[in-house]
Amino acid sequence: MRSRLPAATLTAAILLALSGPSFAAIVVDGKIDPAEWQGAQHVTDFRITQPLTGAPGSQPTEAWILATPEGLAIGFRNTQPSSIPRNRQKIRRDEQAQVDRNNLMIDFDGDGRTGYNFMVTSTDGINDAVITNENRFSTDWDGNWQHAASEDENGWSSEMLIPWYIAPMAKGKDGKRTFRIYLDRVIGSSGERSAWPAASFERPRFLSDFTPVEVPIYNQALIAITPYVSGLYDNIGKDGSFDTGADIFWKPNGQFQLTATLNPDFGQVESDDIVVNFSANETFFSDKRPFFTENQGPFEFTTPSDFSQLVYTRRVGGPTDDGSGAGDITAAVKANGSFGATKYGVLIADEADEAGRTFTALRLSHDFAKQNVGMMVTQVDRPFFDRTATVVGFDQNWRPNEKWNIQNRLIFSDIDEGRADSPDWGRAGQGDGFTTIVDYEAGNGWRHQFLGMHFSGDLEINDFGFLSRPDLNYAHYELKKRITDMPKESSYSSHDWRWRVGGSNDDTGVDLQRQFRMSVSSQLKDGGNDYAQINVNTAGHDDRILRGNGIVKIPSNFNSFAEKNWPRHGAWAFYANVGFSNYGIGDSNNDRGIGWNTQFQPTYFINDDLSLYTTLYAERTPQWMIWYGDNLIGTFDEHAQQLDFGVNWNFRGNQELRVKMQALGLDADRRQAWRTTPDGTPVPSNDRIDDFALSNLGFQVRYRWEFKPLSYLYVVYGRGGDLFNEYQFGAPDANEALNDAFSLRDDEQLVVKLSYRFEL
């Protein structure tokens, strides 16, 4: 349900309230003092958006918005009687948990392009994130802002103060600046979310539906320098190293920000999950390095292809071109700013040594009344390969009215390479790509989506960006229905059904797949959620597995997946999923069999500060296909087991201890070697392929103390390794391979890192 006040009347009322006198400075202590909040805009019309009914919230929620010279102040009062359980679980920064919480989301420029989310829980835990593409959240960014929470017998309260230097923002005019704001409150025990305005990130339009507000123009200048020192001891090599560097942040006004880094570390205090990937498609990893997360929102240029983007910052400091290890980043600089409705961003990063690379990105965007358009240019100079890669992209986000949301992307690449041993030799030249998404809200819970993608075979953006594959034409139509009028006796609060038909070809016209998909996402009244999906695929071709040496015919097949999340009740929380598939090659379903995978994760809360979890995972793929070179494929009966274990202890408000262990065991028993004919038909062959087993271990103990905002002490112990062996007469089974993982010790390191943020 939307406000029926005319937009001009609503804006005038908010402007009058926000520009009124304030009789006391805001003290961010989590306690709503009426004297402090005099003159603030008082918001009470919170509407339920999870489930998306638009009805008034089941419990009264009040909020106050006040612009002050120190920053934008937000206060919440959340009525919650004793009859509604309170979840007092402590969370790590950016941890996702079903707890009582408040969210402030704000688009500082009011153009629907980039937003920021600030969350405070009832126990004063926080989450901050950047919002792009209307409803895409990234928690990699950490900001410096004030927050506090308190509770009493009738409910709980929270306060936030967001400094004006937190992000770039438009200059404004006539002494006023226009924002778009969204506020919400989530009840942890039921999962109910009530918001003002009644916008929802479950819709294609989210940022654009925030409420516009005008505030007096305040500016804060800031210079912040964060030097770090780190020491690493390698217990395998019996040697150590010492490193220093610094991040620099300068914001002279709201229209310009400059960030720079000297010799940044490559995230020794973070750990990626174990991934076993024998496919031709690269695995995507997120980036937590402060320089690359600060003000990165303007550089977002994504496409509907999974994780696809023109700037993938893990490339910087990634594996060197000569294979000698991680790239040594000498320095990097990033500038963001605006001229009126036009925004710009420049990013330059340089790596040392002959195998180092130079990365450059330029971003421009302009906001119009109902759309914004932008351009991005990236270039990577790779002297080791005598290669220069240039990519140009244009993007448009068009919102003609409340029912339609249209996103278009146009990409061109130009590769110039001189050495035949470069990784993409033969791919030099020019490529192009285009994507479009059209979303239509038909009303009464019905929605429609059309999506189309074209990536030419010569498109190459992975020198700086990320694209799982080029050489693709894909389209789908999806019909969606949201059901929220559930019976009172039902344990569910909503169901969201989706039906999709789609198909893909490569750029030469080879049909890859035609698919029908049906899925349902459900929310329960106890705060839990369910999801189920089934895909039915017609016969087609796999053009990736042979790495350019031909195609493989794939019979019709299906895959399905279901998961269930039970949020914390008492001392326990649970998560489980299961999947089935018959993907493979062969003349009949008996050749392929039914593969399965399943996962179960119980979490035990010793108290609100300390929890333990374990994850049990197992899978079987009766016909796992692996490429052996040329047009040779081996199929295997694969089994895998993975055991994860972790401890999360959040104590004294700003300290945490995390233990994370992942151990994997996999065995693959050979079934058949195959070669393919020119039309892709797989033919059994007598080529030798061997059984094999794989073991993998990752273990980390990490202590982190945030002794002042964005200043940290880390002490991290890590150990890991992997083992791959082939066997002519039978490999160890998955259980034995899992046991072998615990003895792996290829790497063992102790890292101590101290960073201290000076603000001038």
Report the pLDDT value the prediction gives residue 323, as an integer from 0 to 100: 87
Residue 207 has pLDDT above 50, yes or no: yes
Instruction: For residue 72, give the nearest of 109, 108, 103, 100 by alpha carbon.
Output: 108
pLDDT tens digits for range 74-105? 999 999 999 999 988 999 888 888 999 999 99
Mean pLDDT of the residues in the chain: 91
If you count them, how many residues does the chain have? 760
- Mark 373-392 as b/e (b = at least 16 C-beta within 10 Å): ebebebbbbbebbebbbbbb
Contact (Cβ atoms closer than 8 angstroms) between residue 43 and residue 63:
yes
Same-domain pairing of 182 and 228: no
- Residue 466 DSSP class: B
pLDDT number for residue 428: 62
| Least trusted range by pLDDT, from 178-182, 284-288, 750-754 | 284-288
Q: What is the distance between the alpha carbons of residues 247 and 261, in angstroms, rounded to a whole number?
A: 4
When pLDDT is cut at 50, 70 and 90, the band that residue 280 belongs to is confident
Rounded to whole angstroms, the Cα distance separating 222 from 146 reads: 16
Report how far Cα 126 is from the mean position of its chain's Cα atoms: 17
- Tell me what pLDDT residue 4 has: 39
Instruction: Provide the domain count of the chain.
Output: 2
416: which strand partners?
A: 388
Which element (helix H / strand E) includes 9? helix 7-18
**What pLDDT, on the 0 to 100 scale, is given for residue 423?**
57
Q: What's the pLDDT score for residue 7? A: 43
- Beta pairing partners, 405: 439
Residues 234 and 123 in one domain: no
Coil, strand or helix at 382: strand
Which residue shows structure tokens 């594959």?
Answer: 469
Question: Could you give the C-alpha distances from 361 to 7, 242, 286, 335, 724, in angstroms and in order?
Answer: 38, 31, 19, 11, 39
Q: What's the rounded Cα separation, in Å, for the pair 183 and 685?
A: 63
Instruction: Please enumerate in sequence order all residues whose Cβ is within 8 A of that of 85, keeping only pairs 6 or more positions apart, or say none.
Output: 188, 189
Confidence class of residue 121 from pLDDT cuts 50, 70 and 90?
A: very high
- 104 and 233 within one domain: no
Q: How far out from the chain centre does Cα 278 lie?
A: 23
Spatial contact of 231 and 749, defined as CB atoms under 8 Å apart: no
Is residue 409 domain-resident?
no
Q: Check whether residue 160 and residue 12 sit in a common domain.
A: yes
- Determine the average pLDDT of the residues in 137-157: 93
- Retrieve residue 288's tokens: 């937590």
d(CA 622, CA 405): 43
Query: What are the φ/ψ torsions at residue 302 (nearest 5 degrees)?
Result: -115, 165
Tell me what pLDDT residue 11 has: 44
Structure tokens at 674: 């195959």
Residue 293 corresponds to which tokens in the numbers above? Answer: 């997360």
Q: Is residue 325 in a domain?
A: no
Residues 21 and 145 in one domain: yes
Average pLDDT over residues 292-296: 83
Q: What is the predicted pLDDT for the residue at 171?
A: 82
Q: Is residue 754 part of a domain?
A: yes
Instruction: Report whether pLDDT(241) > 50.
Output: yes
Assess whether pLDDT exceeds 50 at residue 8: no
Question: Is residue 618 classed exposed, middle or buried when 0-12, 13-18 and 19+ CB atoms within 10 A define those classes?
Answer: middle
Does the residue 46 lie in any domain?
A: yes
Over pLDDT 70: what percentage of the chain? 94
pLDDT above 90: residue 541: yes
CATH number, domain with residue 120: 2.60.40.1190
Give the pLDDT band of residue 424 (cuts 50, 70, 90): low
pLDDT band per the 50, 70, 90 thresholds, residue 279: confident
Q: What is the pLDDT of residue 18?
A: 45
Average pLDDT score over residue span 5-29: 53
Q: What is the pLDDT of residues 642-655, one digit of tens each?
A: 999 999 999 887 89
What pLDDT is recorded for position 15? 44
Give the pLDDT band of residue 16 (cuts 50, 70, 90).
Answer: very low
CB-CB contact of 161 with 72 (8 Å): yes
Strand order in the sheet with 155-162: 41-43, 61-68, 71-79, 155-162, 146-152
pLDDT-derived band at 150 (thresholds 50, 70, 90) equals: very high
Tell me, what's the pLDDT at 422? Answer: 59
As given in the structure block, the two tokens for residue 231 are 């020491």
Evaluate if residue 589 carries a pLDDT over 70.
no
State the pLDDT at residue 240.
92
Contacts of 12 (CB under 8 A, 6+ apart): none
**Which tokens belong to 269?**
């205090």
CB crowding 323-346: b at 16 or more within 10 Å, else e: eeeebbbbbbbbbbbbeeeebbbb
Answer yes or no: pTM beyond 0.85: yes
Q: Which amino acid is residue 544, in one-letter code?
A: R
586 with 710, same domain: the answer is: yes
Instruction: Return the amino acid letter for 233.
Output: Y
Domain contains 590: yes
pLDDT of residue 754: 95
Between residues 601 and 327, the one the model is more confident about? 601
Instruction: Give the highest mean pLDDT range of 2-6, 18-22, 496-500.
Output: 496-500
Band (pLDDT 50/70/90 cuts) for residue 297 is confident
Do both 78 and 128 map to the same domain?
A: yes
Report the pLDDT value the prediction gives residue 292, as an integer from 0 to 100: 87
Is 156 part of any domain?
yes
Same domain for 737 and 757? yes
Confidence of residue 6 (pLDDT cuts 50, 70, 90): very low
More confident residue, 587 or 292: 292
Q: Measured between alpha carbons, how far apart are the two ends of the chain, in Å?
A: 46
Q: At 498, which helix (H) or strand (E)?
A: strand 492-505
Q: Is residue 513 part of a domain?
A: no
Q: Mark whether 80 and 115 lie in a shared domain.
A: yes
Any idea which residue has 């409705």 for tokens? 341
Do residues 727 and 604 share a domain? yes
Residue in the block written with tokens 């244009």 = 394
- Looking at the structure, tell me whether residues 180 and 235 fall in a common domain: no
Q: Which of 713, 708, 715, 706 is nearest to 758 (CA)?
A: 708
CA distances from 614 to 242, 492, 574, 579, 601 (A): 35, 28, 10, 20, 6
Whole domain around residue 639: which residue ranges? Answer: 223-241+539-760
The secondary structure of 727-742, three-state, reads ECCCCCCHHHHHHHHC
630 in any annotated domain: yes
State residue 10's pLDDT score. 44
Backbone angles phi, psi at 20, to 5 degrees: -70, 170
Q: Which percentage of the chain shows pLDDT scores above 90?
A: 77
Of 161-165, 171-175, 215-219, 355-359, the range with the lowest mean pLDDT is 171-175
For residue 113, give both structure tokens.
């392009």
Euclidean distance between CA atoms 257 and 251, whole angstroms: 5
Assess whether 145 and 228 both reside in one domain. Answer: no
Give the residue-averaged pLDDT of 194-205: 94
